[in-house]
Structure 1
Amino acid sequence: MSLFFVKYQGTGNDFVMIDNRSGEWDDLSISTIQKLCDRRFGVGADGLIKINSISGYDFEVDYYNSDGSKSFCGNGARCSVAFAHELGIIKDHVSFMAIDGVHEAVKKGSLVFLKMNDVSEIDVSHKEFVLNTGSPHFIHFTENVADFDIVSYGKQIRYSDTYKQEGINVNAIHQLDSHSFEIKTYERGVEDETLSCGTGVTAAAIALGEKNLIVGEFEYAVKSQGGNLAVRFTRENSKFTNIWLIGPAEVVFKGETNV
């Protein structure tokens, strides 16, 4: 059977996008998803996203990591908004359902502003932070992101006794100045470094906001390996609200493949 897809990327985080509003691909198997995401035998991507119809919202983001597991993906959600705009489902503002609940988003030119869920639970241990921004994240601070071996370190944390059952994403970050930082991310489900991770960037910004005792509205500029993003939030009494992940979402190519 022939499958039409569009490939998107958001700061190097790339996705196979499928318009599944008709439900035609509801039964797409995990093995097929894995093959489509394979960079040698398939299209090649960090994940696959089906845009589904859902009552009460503009659409549903049905996201799969490249290994077929499910989670919330910030950059994938931003790319989904851009794809929905291309399909004519939305104009500029959108409300959609994802695995972690309802999200709002706004498309402004090439940028997509994605509202994330509030965060109030942050585990701080040995100057490292663990929190959930739709997916679980481990934040490690380093003085040299460029030379940091995120794959080795990421596997060490992700497959430790503490996290091996459910898995965790691992981020190494370095604060560049009062309003910016750089980051590398090892993603569970991909089991490798990705050029960018939206939930990881958001988690890192929140960890820095907590570490630096930010009060009120604030915004960090973020340098990921695949491009630049921004995270805006409000911090009051260690609770983070009005969290926005901001960055580009672009078409790479369109294609057709047999499944």
Structure 2
Amino acid sequence: MRIPFTKMHGLGNDFIMLDGRSNSLPDLTSAVAAALANRHTGIGCDQLIVLEPSNTADFAMRIFNADGGEVEACGNASRAVALLHGAQARVETSGGIIELSPTKGGARVDMGPPRFDWDAIPLDYPMDTSAMPVSWDDLDTPAAVNVGNPHVIFFVRDSEAVPLDRLGPIIEHDPLFPERINVNVADIRDGTIHLRVWERGVGLTKACGTGACATAVAAIRQGLVASPATVRLPGGVLTIEWEAGSSIIMEGPATESYRGSFEWDDYA
């Protein structure tokens, strides 16, 4: 079976988009997702996104990381979906309902409210998620926020100096995080959050939309920045709005790279 796809990216965080809303797709396994995501023998991407019909929203969005693991949310992919869909929509994800609105060159996304309870992150045991009494090397007292998927955030003096390629996988797989964790390191310069992200199941990325949301929420909570917050990632800039008790609003660009097709049996 020949399957069409659209290749897109948000600030360099890239996706294979498969649209199964009108024509159903074959069953997608983790192995197929990982094979398609492989940059040497597949199409290549950070995340594989599958659009499907939904009974509770306009349509559903499934998200597979490059290692084939299915995850709950992806902020950058949400903007790409808005661009692909071309109209405002309510979208079902396993992390909850999100609302998308295309803008010129990108999208504005209502990501829903953040969660802070230890068992909502989730953590292995109770602790204060605003300043966790844990450390890895020089990284200590992080905040934890669930924005549809779990994030731990470290505010540091110089985010570029942190060996995130070494510490990221150690923290991601720490037993404290039973569903693994996305690792964010950030510093604040002239009111702008400068952020690097180790994404679970992917590694270092040029951008992470949910990481920008989680980090901005943690910074606003601690009084380090005001809303709307500007978050600068290696791939570009996002704007995050949030007030206590409300949803997170993310705005930023998305881009279609090219379209193509592949033979399903080559990857199944």
- Normalising by structure 2, what TM-score? 0.86
How does 1:152-171 map onto structure 2 within 5 Å? 152-163=166-177, 165-171=178-184
SS at match of 2:114: coil
Residue 110 in 1 paired to residue 105 in 2?
yes
In structure 2, relative to structure 1, the CA distance for the partners of 1:56 and 1:119 (3 Å cut) is closer
Question: 2:188 maps to what in 1?
Answer: 175
Identity of aligned residues (%): 28
Paired positions, count: 244
Question: 1:186 maps to what in 2?
Answer: 198
Question: 2:121 maps to what in 1?
Answer: none
Question: 1:88 maps to what in 2?
Answer: none
Residues 106 and 255, structure 2, Cα contact 8 Å, conserved in 1: no
Aligned equivalents of 1:24, 1:177: Cα separation in 2: 49
Residues 20 and 26, structure 1, Cα contact 8 Å, conserved in 2: no
Equivalent AA in structure 2 for residue 248 of structure 1? P
Residues 140 and 171, structure 1, Cα contact 8 Å, conserved in 2: yes
Match of 2:238 among 229, 234, 256: 229
How does 1:236-255 map onto structure 2 within 5 Å? 239=245, 241-255=246-260
Find runs of 4+ consecutive structure 1 residues off by over 3 angstroms. none
Aligned equivalents of 1:7, 1:160: Cα separation in 2: 33
Residues 56 and 92, structure 2, Cα contact 8 Å, conserved in 1: no
SS at match of 2:186: strand
SS at match of 2:81: helix
Match of 2:152 among 138, 143, 147: 138
Superposed CA deviations along residues 42-74 of structure 1, whole A, max 9, x for unmatched, are 111001111112235221111111122122111
Structure 1's unaligned 5+ residue stretches are: 86-90
More strand by share: 1
- Normalising by structure 1, what TM-score? 0.89
How does 1:1-259 map onto structure 2 within 5 Å? 1-71=1-71, 72-85=73-86, 91=87, 93-121=88-116, 123=129, 124-126=131-133, 127-163=141-177, 165-178=178-191, 180-190=192-202, 192-212=203-223, 218-235=227-244, 239=245, 241-259=246-264
In structure 2, relative to structure 1, the CA distance for the partners of 1:206 and 1:132 (3 Å cut) is same
Structure 2's unaligned 5+ residue stretches are: 118-128, 134-140
